[in-house]
Structure 1
Amino acid sequence: MVAAADAQNYAQKLGITNDMVVQELGWDEDTDDDLRSSVEDIIGGELVDEDSDEVIDVVLLWWRDGDGDLVDALMDAIAPLSDEGFVWVLSPKTGQPGHVEPSEIAESAPTAGLTQTSAANLGAWTGSRLVQPKARPAKR
Structure 2
Amino acid sequence: MSATAGQAAEGQRHPADRFGLTSGMVVMEMGFDEDVEHDLRELLIEKCGELVDEDTDEVVDAVLVWYRDGDGDLVDLLVDALGPLADSGVVWLLTPKAGREGHVEPGEITEAAPTAGLQQTSTISAGKDWSGARLVAPKSRGKR
TM-score normalised by L of structure 2: 0.89
79, 85, 89: which one aligns with 1:75: 79
Alignment-derived partner of residue 97 in structure 2: 93
Q: Which runs of 5+ in 1 are unaligned?
A: none
Per mean C-alpha deviation after superposition, the further-off stretch among 89-98 and 8-17 is: 8-17
Alignment-derived partner of residue 137 in structure 2: 132
Structure 1 residue ranges, 4+ long, deviating more than 6 angstroms after superposition: none
Instruction: Give the alignment's Cα RMSD to 1 decimal.
Output: 1.7
Using the TM superposition, give the Cα deviation of residue 21 of structure 1 relative to its aligned residue in structure 2, in angstroms. 0.5
Match of 1:23, SS state, is strand
Alignment-derived partner of residue 118 in structure 2: 114
Using the TM superposition, give the Cα deviation of residue 122 of structure 1 relative to its aligned residue in structure 2, in angstroms. 1.5
Do residues 39 (structure 1) and 44 (structure 2) align? yes
Per mean C-alpha deviation after superposition, the further-off stretch among 7-16 and 117-126 is: 7-16
Cα shift readout 1:97-136 (whole Å, capped 9, x = no counterpart): 0010111011100000001000001121000000011223
Give the Cα separation in 2 of the matches to 1:80 and 1:98. Answer: 26
Percent of paired sites with the same residue: 57
Aligned residues: 137
Cα shift readout 1:6-34 (whole Å, capped 9, x = no counterpart): 78743111111111110000000101111
| 2:58–2:84 Cα contact (<8 Å) kept | yes
Give the Cα separation in 1 of the matches to 2:142 and 2:30. Answer: 27
Per mean C-alpha deviation after superposition, the further-off stretch among 81-90 and 128-137 is: 128-137
TM-score normalised by L of structure 1: 0.91
Q: Which runs of 5+ in 2 are unaligned?
A: none
Give the Cα separation in 1 of the matches to 2:100 and 2:7. Answer: 20
Give the Cα separation in 2 of the matches to 1:109 and 1:9. Answer: 28
Using the TM superposition, give the Cα deviation of residue 5 of structure 1 relative to its aligned residue in structure 2, in angstroms. 4.7
Q: Which amino acid is the alignment partner of residue 114 of structure 2?
A: P
Alignment-derived partner of residue 58 in structure 2: 54
Give the Cα separation in 1 of the matches to 2:138 and 2:44. Answer: 25
15, 20, 23: which one aligns with 1:18: 23
Cα shift readout 1:18-64 (whole Å, capped 9, x = no counterpart): 11110000000101111111111111x21000110000110000000
Give the Cα separation in 2 of the matches to 1:108 and 1:91. Answer: 14
